[in-house]
Amino acid sequence: MIYADNAATTQMSRAAIDAMVFHMENIWGNPSSLYEFGQKAQEAITSARAKIAKCINAAPNEIYFTSGGSEADNQAILSAAKVGAKKNKKHIISTAFEHHAVIHTLQKLEREGFEIELLDVHENGIVTPAQVEKAIRPDTCLVTIMFANNEIGTIQPIAEIGAICRAKKIPFHTDAVQAAGHILIDVQKQNIDALSISAHKFHGPKGIGVLYARKNFPLSNLIEGGAQEKGKRGGTENVPAIMAMAAALEESCANMAANTKKLLTIRNKIIDGLNKIPYSILNGDFEKRLPGNVNFCFEGIEGESLLLHLDDRGICASSGSACTSGSLDPSHVLLAIGRPHEIAHGSLRLSFSEYNSEDEVEKIVTAVSEIVEYLRNMSPLWKDKLSGKKDFVLEA
Ligand SMILES: *Cc1c(COP(=O)(O)O)cnc(C)c1O
């Protein structure tokens, strides 16, 4: 099997599995218990908090454990909205291509009377700091813009956007789920007030994540319960998962330079190979792009058919976000960068991790090229385009 869907989830690392099993077997006390056996678990998560904080240049007491990226996004956004509403500030700035954990949270707030302004991400999939500056109003209570997009991999100018928000005293949250462990995050230098992380996107377990919230970020609790996480997130801590997440993030951050180098080679060879397919186009900026992300549209193709044929050949890929598979709507991300419906349907996302190898490049390029040709040859619509009865949308 070739696994090329690392933006959906990743294989757990050896270090993460070892940390998980060790804590399941040995450190299974309740971190809130006062006896020494419980306190061992408390000490363990204290060390995990410090490790994670270090990876993003935060302070340990600004790290809150959550059930994953979705919960962290919900908590950050709903917290800022709550404080905003109290001051009658109900304007929120975001982008048109956020993850559904952000989009659907914002839609909920819109139904409650908030005004949501989604910035255009242009054809290259990048918002500009100037757009953010222009959109900020006296009643803006939050700017939330993703660090790197989960479908097309584009990296946003986070430090500059953060600087603008800081100057205007607007809380700035970023969904950094695709960035953490893959590209450099420094919450100080990048002027970030709140940030979401999910372990299973960097070889950690599913169901665990982090919300980083700077001391002055107006955090309120989503989950009522005990005094865990300074009362901001009740519930007995998932100690094994927390330990595995910390091990995975530490490893990813330590190896980031080498992993990036390897991934860029794989990514760029795949892009070169797929660019040779006629009537195809790379989605998202080439330069400001995650090192492991490839996303293409092929004219005249249904993305779902392409995926099924790739699966037959043992290649795991995606047509976009895992959250949209199962629905027939084209990706909101591809529509946001201006791809017409017809083209957006024919999308393919290949996402790599350091566990992939260069040997896989040729197999993938050959498989995609052959399947695209096969599917086009079967399509009456394609025949109409070849005979000139219908126009091509993309260039040959
Ligand atoms: C995967 C992902 C999420 C959701 O994280 P979970 O831990 O699966 O809830 C949120 N945002 C982005 C950008 C993602 O890629």
| Cα–ligand 1 centroid distance for 129 (angstroms) | 24
% helix, strand, coil for the chain, step of 5: 45, 15, 40
- Ligand 1 atom with the smallest distance to the CA of 198 is 7
Q: Residue 293: CB partners within 8 Å, gap ≥ 6?
A: 7, 152, 153, 267, 284, 349, 350, 351, 352
pLDDT for position 326: 52
Catalytically active residues, by annotation: 323
Cβ 150 under 6 angstroms from ligand 1? yes
| Cα–ligand 1 centroid distance for 204 (angstroms) | 13
Cβ 101 under 6 angstroms from ligand 1? yes
| Residue whose pair of structure tokens reads 């800081």 in the numeric block | 166
Beta bridge partners of residue 94, listed in sequence order: 118
Strand order in the sheet with 347-351: 280-282, 293-298, 347-351
pLDDT for position 329: 79
Q: Residue 107: CB partners within 8 Å, gap ≥ 6?
A: 116
- Ligand 1 atom with the smallest distance to the CA of 321 is 15
| Cα–ligand 1 centroid distance for 160 (angstroms) | 23
Nearest residue to 133 via CA among 159, 164, 169: 164
pLDDT for position 142: 98
Cβ 68 under 6 angstroms from ligand 1? yes
Give the pLDDT of the chain (396 residues) as one tens digit per residue. 999 999 999 999 999 999 999 999 999 999 999 999 999 999 999 999 999 999 999 999 999 999 999 999 999 999 999 999 999 999 999 999 999 999 999 999 999 999 999 999 999 999 999 999 999 999 999 999 999 999 999 999 999 999 999 999 999 999 999 999 999 999 999 999 999 999 999 999 999 999 999 999 999 999 999 999 999 999 999 999 999 999 999 999 999 999 999 999 999 999 999 999 999 999 999 999 999 999 999 999 999 999 999 999 999 999 875 544 455 678 999 999 999 999 999 999 999 999 999 999 999 999 999 999 999 999 999 999 999 999 999 998
Q: Residue 326: CB partners within 8 Å, gap ≥ 6?
A: none
pLDDT for position 183: 98
pLDDT for position 237: 97
pLDDT for position 96: 96
Task: Take atom 14 of ligand 1 and give the residue whose Cα is closest.
Answer: 177
| Cα–ligand 1 centroid distance for 69 (angstroms) | 5
Angstrom distances, CA of residue 242 to CA of 49, 116, 207, 236:
9, 34, 10, 12
Residue 362 to residue 53: CA distance in whole angstroms: 39
- Ligand 1 atom with the smallest distance to the CA of 207 is 7
Give the number of other CB atoms < 10 A from CB of residue 23.
22
